[in-house]
Chains A and B, each alone.
Chain A
Amino acid sequence: MAAKVVTITSGKGGVGKTTVTANLGTALASLNQKVVCIDADIGLRNLDVVMGLENRIVYDIVDVIEGRCRLRQAMIRDKRLPDLYLIPAAQKRDKTAVTPSDMIRVCNELRSEYDWIVVDSPAGIERGFRNAIAPADLVYVITNPEVSAVRDADRIIGLVEAEEKGPARLVINRLNYEMVRRGDMLSTEDIVELLAIEVIGIVPEDDRVVVSTNRGVPISLDEKSLAGEAFRNIARRTLGETVPFIELDNQGGFFSRLGRLLRSGGGE
């Protein structure tokens, strides 16, 4: 076994990196892969709460790097799945507590026993970003269908190339198909044309993402959710499967049109 490292990053903050990391990790583990998620957002620990594992943290990645514990001791097992682990970020330190070679060392120690290491990167182009992509075999850039997020994604895609970690792949998160249909949101085609990059996932805007985060249960565990399915599809594509993108464009359009038809038939 030789794990591959997938780093989840973005230019702009708040676009959904942590959500994608938790869901990709969970979905890969649901497909019987052995997975370790690493929170590389030092000082802004979040992956633990999104995965619902915050109460079980004893050690963090900086404790490992500074030799206060062994790697195993910092790995929290997610009991919902057979082989899913989290290595949390340190909360009271900053990014300078970790170097790119520390990240490479930690990942190399894990490679022989796992299939996938998913690294949650901080936003931006600074040290934290460099730490997170240093061990990467694959880089997924997350964006939202919105001007500033796409612009910042372009910047990051360029940097990933410059660091010889490219070509990065794109996840478009929080796509609102109804707005795209109205011509009020950049479409997948628009974004692909602008960024000239391969898309690995399209995740719809979905209130249930927030609800599942409230509960600490990644939405990819919810069989019925469309956002969950979008995350599971990212996992399957990561494993090399060819999975068509969900045609929400038609579905959403059809159902909302049907809805309007029914409403206007009944009420007006």
Chain B
Amino acid sequence: MTDFLDRLLGKNRKSANQAKERLALVLIHDRTNMTSSALEALKDELIEVISRHIDIDPTAVNIEMNQDGRQQRLIADIPIRGPKRRGR
């Protein structure tokens, strides 16, 4: 019963998993010296610059910081709009 309640309240998530997820984010910020809001600003500017050259769908853009060994990597997945939509 308490198990059920715990699950209902989301308490059942293992605390070690929470620790790991939180640490992963903290380490990105520590290593890059970049806050989440700075990362958001970077994304917006990137989208703006790229849109000037190619037609992209800003809502489908995915830019994230990834860990590769002890290095951080900025990964951008930017779908380019097909020629069909271009004319409109």
Contacts and interface: CB of A to CB of B under 8 A. Distances in A.
A185 B16 contact: yes
A190 to B, nearest CB: 5
A186 interface: yes
Contacts of A150: 23
Given A154-B30, A157-B70, A147 B23 contact: yes
B85 interface: no
Given A147-B23, A151-B23, A194-B20, A184 B14 contact: yes
A196 interface: yes
The binding surface of chain A is classed by DSSP as helix
B46 interface: no
B22 to A, nearest CB: 7
Interface string B6-31: 00000000111101101110110011
The binding surface of chain B is classed by DSSP as helix
Contacts of A184: 14-16
B31 A154 contact: yes
B31 A194 contact: no
Nearest to A185: B16
A161 interface: yes
Contacts of A155: 30
Given A183-B14, A196-B70, A151 B19 contact: no
A182 B31 CA distance: 30
A79 B42 CA distance: 62
Interface in B13-64: 14-17, 19-20, 22-24, 26-27, 30-31
B72 to A, nearest CB: 11
Contacts of B15: 183-184
Interface of B: 14-17, 19-20, 22-24, 26-27, 30-31, 67, 69-70
8 contacts: A150-B23, A151-B23, A158-B31, A183-B17, A186-B19, A190-B19, A190-B20, A193-B20
Given A182-B14, A190-B16, A190-B20, 13 more contacts: A147-B22, A150-B23, A151-B23, A154-B27, A180-B16, A184-B15, A190-B19, A193-B20, A194-B23, A194-B24, A194-B27, A196-B70, A197-B70
